[in-house]
Amino acid sequence: MNDLWTNRLSEYLDGELDSAERAALEAHLATCGACYATLSELRGVVAYAKTLVDSEPATDLWPDIRARLTPGQRPGVSPPGTVRSRRFSFTVPQLLAASIALVLLSSGGAYMALRPGTSKVTPQPAAVRQQGIMTVANVDRGTTDAAIADLQATLTQNESRLDTTTVRIVRQNLAIIDRAIVEARIALQKDPGNAYLNLHLADTMRRKVELLRRVNDIAAQS
Amino acid sequence: MVATLAAAMLVAVASQRQTDTTFAVPAGASLSVNNFGGGITVHAWSENRVKVHGDVGRRGRVEVSLVGNTVVVKTGSREGAPSVIDLDITVPRSMGLTLGGTYADVTVEGVQGPISAETVNGEINVRGGKGIITLHSIQGSVTLADASGRIEVNSVNEAIELSNVTGEIKVETTNGEVTLTGIQSSSVDAGTINGDVVYEGTVTDGGSYSFGSHNGDITVSIPERANVTVTVATANGDIDASFPLPMTSTAGRHRKTFKIGTGSARMELESFQGDIELRRPQEIRERIDEHKRDHHNDNDNDHDSDRDTSFSSHFDAGTWDYAARYAKAYAPKYAKAYAPLYARTYARTYARTYKRAYRDTDTTSH
């Protein structure tokens, strides 16, 4: 996978590439299954994100925002033709983290994963975002780790609602996934720029989230 | 309709050990079954009626009602712990099904409507189905055959097998193999952590195919006239094909892309530890047939084909001594490896045996 192209997929999706760039990217897409697959995932995430209902912030954030704006600029009033539609730009790890977040959001596990004090998504300055795939990947995986820890804590609380066989099977399978995660992480330490390993690790973590969520759902229904 | 409702509003509380009821259902009606433990078996017939048969034992009960346009079948116990009840239900062929259980094996035969089945500890075996089909089990294998539509199949601790299935397919397990044969699809996504993945089916122009495993081999069929761009990635395995692969790009030593024909379809093959094989469909079919033959000949059910392993005893004492030492050294290792492998199978067999024994005792001791 070519990071240069991968990081421009969201611009492509938003129609913000010029015709030459678009043609070059489309030529690349014709030969790169990974970018093509990523584009499909990205389309799915954007489509899903658009279906989410905007919620009001708990407090009025506007005074703070206004205070930080450069004096002289008039927020909220854009010159004609400069209004930009809301767009979503992701790197691959961010995209996968978003996928995991959507998994969480689509279930009752979201409450546990996103409740105050856990699984906080720390805003990152632009400089950090530009530091490369591993930096971003580690930050996003930290968030996923927190979500996993939270779901696991919930499962520990709810285990008594499941029979011992199911608990044992689930633990065995979580151990299998954990082993896969460790192996992928070790491989990634040796080869940090490997896009396949990045994606594989993220996908394996997603599977752990999904298994925990599913078992928590079953426990909740028991 | 009133007659239908009256017929359907049944509460079959089992004073006897079996319940058996048949009633007409409105066109387009669906079926919802919730059975905590036992079996749910659904057959199809050409009549516009539903027949519910249940082996309920002494304490069990089956409730049948019509809620809106849905026939609802629930099981329960009249006292104490939940009862183990085997349900056998016959429905109109096109009826949609929602089947749920905790310790329930689910079997569906010949239904041509949407099917949703979910169990925690039990197998799911479905032949037929049309439309949205979702089959989920935690501890139990899942098989689906002769179905079409939008298919989603999950297990956690067992294998998944799909055969002669048409449509959009998404399959995932954690600790089990995934075997897809006779597939006609332009969209397949199949993965496992601990097991092999086998795909034998169409590769349609413009289609999207993704197969992944962490600890297993990936084997896919590429028809001779396929137009597909195949991206292959493995950390520790090998890549092998039984035909020439024109490589178009490589990203590091772990990821390679091959363009076959016009490259119209996209196929991702990824295994961390395992090998990746691209074969012709006939090769995979022959391999699967051979595997089935071996399994069929496995008379002692030890999952290992019974070959002639007898040998004459003209070995000298040194050989016997070596064999004895070898056995002593490796027995614990193999025992450790085989125990988790076969424990599940034997546990299930014994569970069924004792379930019947328990039920018989339960019904005869009162």
Domain boundaries, chain B: 1-158, 188-297, 324-366
Separation CA B111–CA B92 (nearest Å)? 8
3-state DSSP percent of chain B in helix, strand and coil, to 5: 20, 50, 30
**Nearest-neighbour CA in chain A from B2: distance (Å):** 34
Is residue B80 within 8 A of residue B107, CB to CB? The reply is no
Tens-binned pLDDT, residue by residue, of chain B (366 aa): 433 444 444 444 444 678 889 999 998 999 999 999 999 999 999 999 999 999 888 788 899 999 999 999 999 887 777 778 999 999 999 999 999 999 999 999 999 999 999 999 999 999 999 999 999 999 999 999 999 999 999 999 999 999 999 999 999 999 999 999 999 999 999 999 999 999 999 999 999 999 999 999 999 999 999 999 999 999 889 999 998 888 776 666 678 899 999 999 999 999 999 999 999 999 998 888 887 777 666 555 444 444 333 333 344 444 445 555 555 555 655 565 556 556 655 566 566 555 655 555 554 444
Of A30, A165, A184, the CB nearest to B272: A184
Helix (H, G, I), strand (E, B) or coil at A124: coil
The mean pLDDT of chain B is 83
Q: Is A13 exposed, middle or buried (0-12, 13-18, 19+ CB in 10 A)?
A: middle
**Nearest-neighbour CA in chain A from B176: distance (Å):** 10
Separation CA A122–CA A114 (nearest Å)? 13
CA nearest B158: which of B180, B174, B179, B145? B174
Q: How far is CA B156 from the centre of its chain?
A: 11
Spans in chain A with pLDDT lower than 70: 1-3, 30-31, 33, 44, 46-143
Which residues of A sit within 8 Å Cβ distance of B?
1-2, 30-34, 36-37, 40, 163, 165-166, 169-170, 172-173, 176-177, 180, 183-184, 187, 191, 193-197, 200, 203-204, 207, 211, 214-215, 218, 222
CA-CA distances (angstroms) from residue B61 to A75, B58, B356?
Answer: 68, 9, 17
Task: Say if B355 is an interface residue toward chain A (CB within 8 Å).
Answer: no
Separation CA B67–CA B224 (nearest Å)? 52
Q: Do A37 and B257 touch (CB under 8 A)?
A: no
Angle between helices A92-105 and A33-51 in degrees, nearest 10: 40
Domain spans of chain A, in order of start: 1-90, 91-222
Phi, psi of A152 (to 5 degrees): -70, -40
Q: What is the pTM of this model?
A: 0.67
CA-CA distances (angstroms) from residue A93 to A17, A190, A202, B232?
Answer: 22, 18, 7, 20
Chosen from A3, A182, A196, A206 to mutate, greatest number of chain B CBs within 10 A: A196
ipTM entry: 0.72
Separation CA A80–CA B324 (nearest Å)? 89
Residue with tokens 């044969």: B181
Q: Do B257 and A40 touch (CB under 8 A)?
A: no
Helix (H, G, I), strand (E, B) or coil at B214: coil
Q: How far is CA B163 from the centre of its chain?
A: 10
Q: Do A176 and B120 touch (CB under 8 A)?
A: no
Separation CA B82–CA B77 (nearest Å)? 5
Q: Which residues of A touch B233 (CB under 8 A)?
A: 196, 200
Helix (H, G, I), strand (E, B) or coil at B344: helix
Separation CA A207–CA A180 (nearest Å)? 11
**Nearest-neighbour CA in chain B from A56: distance (Å):** 35
Give the β-pairing of B247-251 and B255-260: antiparallel
Of B172, B235, B267, the CB nearest to A197: B235
**Nearest-neighbour CA in chain B from A31: distance (Å):** 7
- pLDDT the model gives residue A28: 76
**Nearest-neighbour CA in chain B from A97: distance (Å):** 19
**Nearest-neighbour CA in chain B from A132: distance (Å):** 17
- pLDDT the model gives residue B79: 76
- pLDDT the model gives residue A1: 45
Sign of CA dihedral A123, A127, A128, A132: positive
> Which residue in chain B is spatially nearest to A181 when comparing CA positions?
B214
CA-CA distances (angstroms) from residue B211 to A216, B127, B192?
Answer: 27, 24, 9
State pLDDT tens for residues A138-148: 435 566 777 78
Chosen from B272, B278, B341, B355 to mutate, greatest number of chain A CBs within 10 A: B272
Beta carbons within 8 Å of A17's beta carbon, 6+ residues apart? A8, A11, A25
Please give the biggest Cα pair distance in chain A: 67
Q: Is B158 exposed, middle or buried (0-12, 13-18, 19+ CB in 10 A)?
A: buried
Q: Do A196 and B259 touch (CB under 8 A)?
A: no
- For A14-75, the DSSP string reads TT-S-HHHHHHHHHHHTT-HHHHHHHHHHHHHHHHHHHSPP---SS--HHHHHHHSPTT--T
Task: Say if B141 is an interface residue toward chain A (CB within 8 Å).
Answer: no
CB pairs under 8 A between A and B: 108
Q: Which residues of A touch B248 (CB under 8 A)?
A: 31
**Nearest-neighbour CA in chain A from B249: distance (Å):** 8
Q: Do B193 and A207 touch (CB under 8 A)?
A: yes
Chosen from B141, B230, B231, B276 to mutate, greatest number of chain A CBs within 10 A: B231
Angle at alpha carbon of residue B133, lines to B130 and B134, rounded to 5°: 170
Residues 74-113 of B with CB under 8 A from A: 102
- pLDDT the model gives residue A114: 36
Helix (H, G, I), strand (E, B) or coil at A107: coil
Separation CA B299–CA B314 (nearest Å)? 28
> Which residue in chain A is spatially nearest to B214 when comparing CA positions?
A180
Q: Do A215 and B138 touch (CB under 8 A)?
A: yes
Q: Do B120 and A166 touch (CB under 8 A)?
A: yes
- The two tokens of residue B332 are 């614990």
Separation CA A8–CA A14 (nearest Å)? 10
State pLDDT tens for residues B66-122: 999 999 999 988 777 777 899 999 999 999 999 999 999 999 999 999 999 999 999
Of A36, A183, A196, the CB nearest to B255: A196
- For A170-199, the DSSP string reads HHHHHHHHHHHHHHHHHHHHHSTT-HHHHH
Separation CA B200–CA B261 (nearest Å)? 19
CA nearest B128: which of B114, B142, B138? B114
Is residue B81 within 8 A of residue B99, CB to CB? The reply is no
- pLDDT the model gives residue A42: 75
Task: Say if B134 is an interface residue toward chain A (CB within 8 Å).
Answer: no
- The two tokens of residue B36 are 């905590």
Beta carbons within 8 Å of A113's beta carbon, 6+ residues apart? A104, A119, A147, A150, A151
Q: Which residues of B touch A34 (CB under 8 A)?
A: 231, 251, 255, 268
A211 CB neighbour count, 10 Å cutoff: 23
- pLDDT the model gives residue A181: 92
Q: Which residues of B touch A177 (CB under 8 A)?
A: 174, 193
